Structure 1
C-alpha cells in the first residue's frame, strides 16, 4: 500500500503473501499491503481462512482479518495463537461408499421439501444462457456436456424417502438430456428461439428423477446459436456456474482437438459433503453454533411491513420480474472511498443503504434482510458443482437515529458475526427460533440482498464469440431481491420483485430511493437518518 513494498522475512509471512497473491490475482504482496485495498472482499477472505487452515493448520476468525488487514497483522496474530485459540476446527470431508442410500445436505432437504409442496414450481430453476457466434462443433459440445454430467455426481442423484428418511442415491449418468433445433426455416428464428428458451427455463424438474440438468442448442443462423443450460438449484448454485463454464470450455476444447481435457480429479463429491455435514453439524456441535443465531436474532422483526399494491395472497407465490439497477461509476467510486475510510466492504455499505430504504418504506426502525453466502469452507469443495450456498439473516438496526457512519459500524459487526457462523443451515436457524411458519411469506426475511462476488469465470469456446444472455424464468423467489455486481461502469444489477404484491412503479420507486439515499449519505455520512427514513 502507501508504505511501499516490504518483502516477507519468515516462512509464515511468505506463505501468507503467496496465498494473498494467488487469491487476489496480483503479482506480489508485501507485509504492509491491505487485503481489502488490493480487491479483497468477504468471499475471498473466507477462502483465505480456508487456505490458512489447510496449509498452516491454524483456525482464524474472519473478524481478525478485518481488524488487522495486512500480512504483517495476520502473521503477528498467527504467532500468538495457542492450539485452543480461535474457532473450533472442522473435520475433513472424506469419501463415503456409494453402495447405499446417502443423506441429503440441509440445503438439499429444504429444496426437496419445497418440491414436495410445489412440484410444478420452477422457482428454483437456474437458467444459464449464451449466444454462440462462429463455427460450432455441435458434437463436441454435446460430448462436453456428457463428460460434465459423468464428472459431477450432484447432477445425477435420485431423491426418495426410505424408512421415513429422505435419501439420495447416485445413479449412472445415462445420456445427457439435450435438444438441438435448427430454427432457420422459421419466419423469425430469433423470436422462436427465445420462445423456447423462456419455456424451458420455466419448465419444472421432477426431483424424483435424474439427471437434474438439461441443455438446448438452438440454431438461428448458419453460424449463430442460442445455448441454454438449465439446472435445478438442488444440484448447483451461483458458484457452480463458474465451475460449469470453466470445465465445459476445457472439455469442449479437448474434444474438438482430439486430446484429453486434463481436468484434475475431484478428491470428493457433493454426496460426500452432504454426509460430512450431517455427521458434523448435529447434536452438541450444531447446538453450540446455533446459540449465536438465537442470541443474534432475539427480538428481531420477522415481517417486513412494506405496503403492497394489492392484497397479499393467502399462499406464498413466486410470480415476478426484474428491473435493471445502475449506480453509475461516479457514485460507485464514492462508495468505495467511503468503505476504505470506514474499514467496511461495499457489501456492508450497500446492505446498510438498502436497509434504510426498506425501513423508510415500511415505517420500521429495524429490518431483517437475507443474503446468500457461498459457504464453501474447505478448499476441496471449491471445484464442485453443488448446492452449498446458505442464507444469512442480517439485521439493519436504525434504533436511536444513527447517522450512516454509525449505521455502517452496526452493520459491519452484524455481518462479521454472521460470516463467522455461516455454516449453520438457515432452516435450522428458523427452527431454533420457534418462528411460526407463515403460509404466504418466507420466514424471518422477505427481502434479499446479493452482491455477486463469486469467481467470475467466462465461458470460452475456441474460435467462437461467446456472449452471456440473461434468461428470465418468470419467477421471484423473494418478495424483493436486490442483486448487484461491480462492472466497469460501476455497480450494476437488478431488482427482482413479486408481481402479485408490487407494481413496476413501486420497484422503480425503490430504485430511485436507493440512489437518493446513497447520494445523501455519500455527501454527508454523519447526517441523521431519522428524517430521511421516516422511522418513528
Structure 2
C-alpha cells in the first residue's frame, strides 16, 4: 500500500470511536491487508501527559499492587569500571536518556474509574547517587560494595511516584567504580537495556570528548505505541490472534510437575539462585549445523532439547515452555525504551517414542506460528483460557526459556575505561525454573539456570546442566 494512503487510513482510524474502528478493521482485513502496513502515529494532544497503559503494563500494575515490595520484575545490571571516570559525564548522559525517552519519566496511577493510566512527566528527575567507599577499610571495601549494590538492586520501586530508573555509582578507589542500573519492568525490558547501554556509551563518549552526540530522532514514544496497540487489538486483531492460540494450546492447561527437592511455600515467594555453564564450542557448532539442515535456528534446536529434558524429568508428555519475544518487529519501536517484550507459550508433545528430530520439527512449526501471532498480549491469553489459578504457580507455563543475542560492545570504546561484569546477587524468582542462553558475537554460548532456591538444590541444577 502506498505510504501516504496508509498514513491517511491510520489517522482516520485513530480518531474513530471504538465501534467504527471495528468496521474499518474488518474492511482492511477483507482486502487482505495486515497491521504491519499501517504506521504507528503520535497520540492526540489530549493524551500527551496521560493515557492508557499497554496490556503488558496493565499486568505489571496488577502484580505490583498485589506485592509492592517484590523485586521479581526489576531489570538490572552492573559493571565494574576501571580508569579515569568522569562522574558528571555519567550523570549528564543518563539525564539525556531520561529527556529522550518518555518511559523513563513515566509513573502510574488509577484514574477516576479505577483504571490504570500512565502519567508522563514533562521534566523527568534522574535518581542518581554516588557512594564513596574509597576511604573505608581496604579489606572490607569489596564486601561493602557488594552489599550496597544488592541493596540498590533490591530496593522496591513505587510505581505511583517514580522515578522508575535508578542509577548509582559506588567508588572503591579513585579509579575504580561500580555502576549499578536498575529499572522496573513496567517501563523497560531486555531490548531497552541494550538501547540504554548503546545510547549511554554515545552520550558519555561525546560528553568527555566535548563533541555533539548525533542520535536519530524518535518517531514516536512508548505511550503512542500503547494507544495504537489498544485501538487495533480492540478493533478485532485480538480475536484473530487469540483464535490461533486457542487452537495451539487446547482447552486444558496442564501444570508442569518437575520433581522438587523441597515442598512449595504457602506464600509462593522464592529467592532466585543461578547455575552458569558454557556450552562447548564443538557442541554449539553441531547444533548450528543441525539447525541449518532443518532450515531452523539455534533457538529452535535449544528449545527442542530443553523440552525433551523437561519431559524426561517430569514424566509428562504435554510440555509448555514460556518464551519471551522482543515484539519489536516494527521500525518505529526499534530504538525505543519501553515494555515491549511479550511472552508466548510454545508447546511440544513428547513421549518415549518421539525422536529429537520430531520434537525439533514441532519447535520449528511452533516458533514460526508464534512469530506470526506475536501481538496478542500474554495477559489477554491468560484471561481467555482461564487456567486454574494455584498460589505461587505461574499460569499457562512454569518454566521459561530465553535465548539472547546481546551485543554490548559499544561499551568497549568508553574513553580511558576498562569494563567487566559485576554480579548483583539474587533477586526474587519469577518462575520455578528459567533457562537463559546467551549467544555472543564470537559464537560462544553461555547458559544459566535461574531457579527457585527454596524448591531446588544446587546439585539438581548441576545434574540437569550435565544432561
- TM-score, normalised via structure 1 length: 0.78
SS in 2 for 1:110: helix
Query: Could you say which residue in structure 2 is the equivalent of 1:166?
Result: 116
SS in 2 for 1:282: helix
Flag the 1:400–1:288 CA change in 2: closer, same or farther, 3 A. farther
1:224 to 162, 172, 176: 176
2:344 to 392, 396, 421: 392
Flag the 1:88–1:99 CA change in 2: closer, same or farther, 3 A. closer
Mapped pair 1:295 → 2:224: no
Matches within 5 A, 1:9-24: none
Flag the 1:425–1:457 CA change in 2: closer, same or farther, 3 A. farther
Give the deviation of 1:265 after TM superposition. Answer: 1.6
Give the deviation of 1:125 after TM superposition. Answer: 0.9
Asked if 1 retains the 8 angstrom alpha-carbon contact of 2:406 and 2:439, the reply is no
Query: Could you say which residue in structure 2 is the equivalent of 1:312?
Result: 264
Mapped pair 1:506 → 2:453: no
Mapped pair 1:470 → 2:417: no
Give the deviation of 1:308 after TM superposition. Answer: 1.0
Query: Could you say which residue in structure 1 is the equivalent of 2:436?
Result: 483
Query: Could you say which residue in structure 1 is the equivalent of 2:18?
Result: none
Give the deviation of 1:457 after TM superposition. Answer: 5.0
Mapped pair 1:408 → 2:360: yes
Asked if 2 retains the 8 angstrom alpha-carbon contact of 1:243 and 1:385, the reply is yes
Give the deviation of 1:472 after TM superposition. Answer: 2.8
Mapped pair 1:103 → 2:52: yes
CA deviation profile, 1:443-465 (whole Å, cap 9, x unmatched)? 00000001102555532422211
Matches within 5 A, 1:215-364: 215-299=167-251, 301-364=253-316
Give the deviation of 1:108 after TM superposition. Answer: 0.7
CA deviation profile, 1:383-419 (whole Å, cap 9, x unmatched)? 1011100001001211472211122111111111111
Structure 1 portions without partners, runs of 5+: 1-51, 58-82, 514-536
Give the deviation of 1:159 after TM superposition. Answer: 0.6
Moved more, 226-235 or 449-458: 449-458
Query: Could you say which residue in structure 2 is the equivalent of 1:130?
Result: 79
1:437 to 389, 408, 415: 389
Structure 2 portions without partners, runs of 5+: 7-29
SS in 2 for 1:458: helix
SS in 2 for 1:250: helix
Asked if 2 retains the 8 angstrom alpha-carbon contact of 1:155 and 1:210, the reply is no
1:112 to 61, 66, 82: 61
Query: Could you say which residue in structure 2 is the equivalent of 1:203?
Result: 155
Asked if 1 retains the 8 angstrom alpha-carbon contact of 2:64 and 2:70, the reply is yes
Aligned counterparts of 2:174 and 2:91: Cα–Cα separation in 1: 18
Flag the 1:174–1:284 CA change in 2: closer, same or farther, 3 A. closer
CA RMSD across the alignment: 2.2
Asked if 1 retains the 8 angstrom alpha-carbon contact of 2:49 and 2:121, the reply is no
Flag the 1:85–1:275 CA change in 2: closer, same or farther, 3 A. closer
Give the deviation of 1:299 after TM superposition. Answer: 4.4
Aligned counterparts of 1:54 and 1:445: Cα–Cα separation in 2: 40
How many residue pairs were aligned? Answer: 437
Aligned counterparts of 1:100 and 1:185: Cα–Cα separation in 2: 45
Matches within 5 A, 1:49-64: none
2:378 to 417, 426, 446: 426
CA deviation profile, 1:447-503 (whole Å, cap 9, x unmatched)? 000110255553242221122333234322111000011234732121000012111
CA deviation profile, 1:171-193 (whole Å, cap 9, x unmatched)? 13344111112211112222211
SS in 2 for 1:430: helix
Aligned counterparts of 1:446 and 1:53: Cα–Cα separation in 2: 45
Mapped pair 1:93 → 2:40: yes
SS in 2 for 1:243: helix
CA deviation profile, 1:9-29 (whole Å, cap 9, x unmatched)? xxxxxxxxxxxxxxxxxxxxx
Give the deviation of 1:283 after TM superposition. Answer: 4.2
Give the deviation of 1:118 after TM superposition. Answer: 0.5
- TM-score, normalised via structure 2 length: 0.89
Flag the 1:209–1:191 CA change in 2: closer, same or farther, 3 A. same
Give the deviation of 1:242 after TM superposition. Answer: 1.2
Flag the 1:145–1:365 CA change in 2: closer, same or farther, 3 A. same
Asked if 2 retains the 8 angstrom alpha-carbon contact of 1:371 and 1:448, the reply is yes
CA deviation profile, 1:135-177 (whole Å, cap 9, x unmatched)? 1111111111111111111011121111221111101334411
